[in-house]
Amino acid sequence: MEASELLRTADGASLAYLGDCVFELWVRRRLLLSGLTGTGALNEAARRFVTAKNQCAAFHRIEGLLTEEEQAYFRRGRNSPHLSVPRSASGAEYRTASGFETLCAALYLDGKEERLDELLSAAFAEEKAE
């Protein structure tokens, strides 16, 4: 299956699954480029980025920058009926985080990695990598 077909046919929860990985890879790369070393320190720093609460907050920081197409990808993940909410986040936070992850997957699958980096950099502009 081609990436474009996967983007067109996959449900929001499946795209969020991929987007979780895409986002974590972006975070890990950012942490390494910041000069942070040691797996313990790297894992601790990564946890500040990859929680549902932080992804929800990040989405709200970039919400006004999204195109209509990007907003549609976000809604596709947010509105997915296949989500089970963890104890660490409210239902609204988790649904928003799932939409955020779906957006990450969609941009990745659509070959728009520069746009993905632009949005994620804006979402975490105030966050220190260390």
Amino acid symbol at 94? Y
Cβ atoms 74, 66 nearer than 8 A: yes
- pLDDT on residue 83: 61
Distance CA 104, CA 109 (A): 9
At how many degrees (to 10) do helices 113-123 and 52-62 cross? Answer: 100
- pLDDT on residue 16: 94
Residue 109 backbone dihedrals phi, psi, to 5 degrees: -65, -30
User: What's the pTM value of the predicted model, to 2 decimals?
Assistant: 0.90
- pLDDT on residue 129: 53
Helices (H), 10-128: 12-33, 39-47, 52-62, 68-78, 91-109, 113-123
Catalytic residue positions, numbered = 20
pLDDT by residue for the chain (130 residues), tens digit each?
A: 898 898 999 999 999 999 999 999 999 999 999 999 999 999 999 988 889 999 999 999 999 999 999 999 999 999 887 666 667 778 889 899 999 999 999 999 999 999 999 999 999 987 665 5
Distance CA 46, CA 84 (A): 22
Distance CA 52, CA 128 (A): 18
Distance CA 116, CA 84 (A): 26
Cβ atoms 76, 102 nearer than 8 A: yes
